[in-house]
Structure 1
Amino acid sequence: MTHPTNPSTPAARLSLTNLPTKPAVDPAELTVGIVHLGLGAFHRAHQAVFTERAAQLSGETRWGISGISQRSTTVRDQLAPQDGLYSVLTRGTGETSIEVIASIREVLTAPEDPDAVVTRIADDKTAVVTLTVTEKGYRATSTGALDLTDPEIQADLTGRPPRTVVGQLAAGLARRGGDPLTILSCDNLVANGPFLQRLVHEYADAAGLKGDQFDAARFPASMVDRIVPATTDADRAEAARLLGVQDEAVVVAEPFLQWVIEDHFAGARPAWETAGAVLTADVAPWEQAKLRMLNATHSMLAYLGALRGYDTIAEAVRDEELAAAARALISTDVIPTLTPPDGLDLPAYGESVLERFANPALKHKTTQVAMDGSVKLPVRLLGTIQDRLRAGAEPDSAARAVAAWMVYVARSETVDDPQADRLKAATANASSPAALVDALLGVDSVFPKELQDDPALRRLLTTHVTQLSE
């Protein structure tokens, strides 16, 4: 992929021969010990940064990353001419900073060579596999089981070199010898480690794959947090100015960086805690606070903001009415459902979330955050609604967020969602707010029966859809 550059932008590309500063760990000395599935901007601004800093602090050279792009060749084409190097442009309310990252030592593109992905996972030198494939990449049903009707899962089960992440993991485990593997999900899913373990075992059973490695593998849970908006040409131009060389793979991020990991590894791992990661026996309280406060509020602002014509989350949260709606969601619906982890002040955390969203340097688009609502809503908002209804309360603010999604789906000409066809078919003949609520509430792959049958929720949704439609 090429991008237009400013005439003053340096022509030389970032590479091992064009390094602005020499890294503490020589990239040429790094060997691959980690495979990462889902080589998007978030991984490059998060886990790869932790891995880079841990290598610098520990001096270990065995934790280079083999990054797997699951769909396109874009990232490979950006990184290959740069010897795998790229920069992270950190934008806060103060001065912008930049850091060159060298921890990614190999890039594979799964559609081009799916067997090479399995070979890397099976390699004895690979001790850890990490994943950021988004919620839809796991190809699970609304009940959390592997979707055996998914066309790609079915295609993998016919015996082709697998192209789904669960197929790749299961095939790699079946082929693997030597030390057991740690498989670490970094996606926004409840109990993501046990969830992924269940999917991999269900796939292995369906495929007839067996081996001691399936029982020996460990699947820790984890929680990740950093806002990483899409990179623009202006970002590339600024990176070139700061580096003195051109970086086509630059990613942009906020200063905040957090990783909480269950200390449940099968063997060796990077010393991520030296770089600031939190190793804990129980990720669940951290995970639930983040999903229900940060991610749910992010989704709410995306849908309400998009309906008001705001291009970015920062614009939406500067709208006093929308900021008040976000605060009400956090204080009246979410916090009563949470048990705070040690050291986390929930009201203060909620305010910090809104402050981070308001960072004008991060142009995180409302439409980008609004993607994949059918798989995001169940883990971000519907659990809160269920807990509040069971407690005898009316989750008015959370219902408003879901209603905003409903109106957004109905109004959008195209919906970027794995269930887009079903959602558009459901809303095609919805001629009133009540009909729209009935149509989308009836999508059982999104809403559990408990919520579909709840009259209080239906009433709240209809009220808010009516208001938002006006």
Structure 2
Amino acid sequence: MENSSFGTPPDQRHTTERCRSLSRLSLTNLPVAPAVDPRSLSVGVVHLGLGAFHRAHQAVVTERAAVATGSTRWGIAGVSQRSTTVRDQLAPQDGLYSVLERGLGDPSIQVIGSIREVLTAPEDPDAVVARIADPAVSVVTLTVTEKGYRAAGSGLDLNDPEIQADLTGRPPRTVVGQLAAGLARRDEPLTIVSCDNLVANGPFLRRLVTEYFDALGKVPSAFETTRFPASMVDRIVPATTDADRDEAARLLSVRDEAVVVAEPFLQWIIEDDFAGARPAWEQGGAVLTADVAPWEQAKLRMLNATHSMLAYLGALRGYETIAETVRDEELEGLARQLMTDDVVPTLSPPDGLDLAAYGESVLERFANPALKHRTRQVAMDGSVKLPVRMLGTVRDRLAAGAEPRTISLAVAAWMVYVLQTPDLDDPQSDRLKTAVAATSNPTQLVDALLAVDSIFTPDLRDSTLFRELLINHATALTN
């Protein structure tokens, strides 16, 4: 879409016009318009978890789908679950923001206009429920990270104080409570798409909502026909820095406080199981399939597990970014070894996915020096990431009678990272730091963390081979 009100290209502006770099993004001062006029969009999607990943991923695909189809009914109402930061950034910018892509060449930038409303759950939880209940909304998507589901093992943590508070009737502030309250007020079915790194995330979320309704003692009729398709997402989205904001201002000639940074690669695999109307995401670059599981398992075990291992080993060696870590020949070799020796034997790849080529592409993406993905950012929330990224591989290798040597190194690196990181960023940080406080050698460290039953199941705790591997690796890492 062309519109002269968006201004002339930056290289044609006079010096005085460049003062606009001090202003905020708006439709009246952009040199290039969003691909879709955001003023034409009505809200048809609610997204829970309005962080950088969603803005660089699902919101981009949704806008591309709107461009391809001309549909204007799929604007997004985004919900920030915790802070007002995103709302405060986007509100003065008419909901507009930019995606700064950093690859091996020059960076590129695009302005996205698909987010039409921003709600902040702690400030107005009733508004969140009302949006989910809105008959014009037929799809809810989620990126709330693994810990946002408030699960314990394979089910809902009914002892979680926030879940308990929602169950007592307050305006809900947990995602499961929000979904349940919205469904209770709907006559129409809904499609709820989890986009977090959880195994079989759609069925898993359905189970959590089912257990929530069971605890309430009442199941609304709309829930019976609501669908929870599984999905798998992939794009590296590092934390935005001031340098990124400066780069975006240079490219746009206006200041964008909400810019997000991403690699050029983007993948979204979605189970084709919807209750009603939806955006034509497949025309925006997504892949719809009957079975997400093989795609999901390959990504979790190859990309995500390798990412986490590099984060822990890199942080222990003092590397600030993943790219620096991959440039360490020993660590790059261990990452490749993790995938080829331990992970690939456990996978049954989907048609069209060459696991060897996929593994090489993973390392190439991690080595992108322009992204500056911080090791400490990737290392956070290890207690919820380990079970879905690494421990399944450990079980499968042990069941096959194999020695899971490299994946055990990844787990041991997490254990040493827990021990050596004073300000551990993890939902179970208090429990973990208490567990390791009295340890004085690698054996005690391993035994103390293996005893954390919210992470390690009895089959792993009772494996002599796994324990010995962990002790050997932890000893080497602490010497």
TM-score with structure 2 length normalisation?
A: 0.95
- Work out whether residues 180 and 213 of structure 2, in 8 Å CA contact, stay in contact via their aligned partners in 1: yes
Which residue pairs with 2:395 in the alignment? Answer: 386
1:13 positional shift: 1.2
Deviation for aligned residue 1:8: 7.3
- Give 2:53's aligned residue: 42
Counterpart of 1:164 in structure 2 is 174
Are the aligned partners of 1:9 and 1:241 in contact in 2 as well (CA < 8 Å)? no
| C-alpha separation in 2, matches of 1:352 and 1:9 | 40
Pair 1:398 & 2:407 matched:
yes
Question: Which residue is 2:89 aligned to?
Answer: 78
Count of residue correspondences: 462
Q: Does 1:105 align with 2:116?
A: yes
> Which residue of structure 1 lines up, in the alignment, with residue 159 of structure 2?
149
> Contact 1:315 / 1:358 at 8 angstroms: preserved in 2?
yes
Shift of 1:394: 0.6
1:191 aligned partner: 200
Query: 2-side partners of 1:454 and 1:8: how far apart?
Result: 65
Mapped partners of 2:295, 2:221: distance in 1: 32
Cα distance in 2, alignment partners of residues 215 and 20 from structure 1: 48
User: Would the aligned equivalents of 1:333 and 1:384 in 2 still touch at CA under 8 Å?
Assistant: yes
Q: CA deviation at 1:20?
A: 2.1
Of 253, 260, 278, which aligns to 1:251?
A: 260
Is the Cα–Cα contact under 8 Å of residues 33 and 111 in structure 2 kept in the other structure?
Answer: no
Q: CA deviation at 1:211?
A: 1.6
For the residues of structure 2 that align with 1:458 and 1:206, how far apart are their CA atoms? 38
For 2:251, which of 236, 242, 245 is the aligned residue?
A: 242
TM-score (norm 1): 0.97
Is 2:282 aligned against 1:273?
yes
The answer as to whether partners of 1:9 and 1:237 remain within 8 angstroms in 2 is: no
Structure 1: which 5+ runs fail to align? 1-6
Q: Secondary structure at the match of 1:87?
A: strand
- Give the aligned partner of residue 4 of structure 1: none
- Could you tell me which residue of structure 2 aligns to residue 173 of structure 1? 183
Secondary structure at the aligned position of 2:300 is classed as helix
Check if 1:55 corresponds to 2:78: no
1:365 to 362, 374, 392: 374
State the alpha-carbon separation in 2 of the partners of residues 24 and 427 from structure 1: 52
**What's the RMSD between the two structures over aligned residues?**
0.9
> For residues 20 and 209 of structure 2, what CA distance do their matches in structure 1 show?
47
Are 1:127 and 2:102 matched, yes or no?
no
C-alpha contact 2:63 2:113 (8 A) present in aligned 1: yes
Within 2, Cα distance between the matches of 1:356 and 1:55? 28
CA-to-aligned-CA distance 1:352-386 (integer Å, 9 cap, x gap)? 00000000000100000000000000000000000
Any idea what the Cα deviations from partners look like across 1:226-275, whole Å, max 9, x if unmatched? 00000001100110110111100000000000000000000000011111
Q: Distance in 2 between matches of 1:273 and 1:248?
A: 30
Measured at CA, do residues 326 and 8 of structure 1 come closer, stay the same or move farther in structure 2, by a change above 3 Å? Answer: farther
1:436 aligns with 2:427: no
Which sections of structure 2, spanning at least 5 residues, go unmatched? 1-17
Whether the 8 Å contact between 1:170 and 1:209 is mirrored in structure 2 is no
Question: 1:425: which partner in 2?
Answer: 434
Alignment of 1:216-227 (within 5 A): 216-227=225-236
Q: Any conservation in 2 of the 1:402–1:461 contact (CA below 8 Å)?
A: yes
Percent identical across equivalent pairs? Answer: 76
- Contact 1:174/1:209 (<8 A) preserved: no
Kindly report structure 1 stretches of 4+ aligned residues shifted beyond 3 Å: none
Q: CA deviation at 1:209?
A: 3.3
Secondary structure, counterpart of 1:105 in structure 2: strand
Corresponding residue SS for 1:107: strand
Instruction: Describe the superposition over 1:298-326 as per-residue Cα deviations: whole angstroms up to 9, x where unpaired.
Output: 00000000000000000001100100110
Matched residue of 1:10: which SS?
helix
Give the secondary structure class of the aligned counterpart of 1:394. coil
Residue matched to 2:43: 32
- Asked whether the 8 Å contact 1:230–1:364 carries over to 2, the reply is yes
Structure 2 CA distance, aligned partners of 1:170 and 1:160? 13
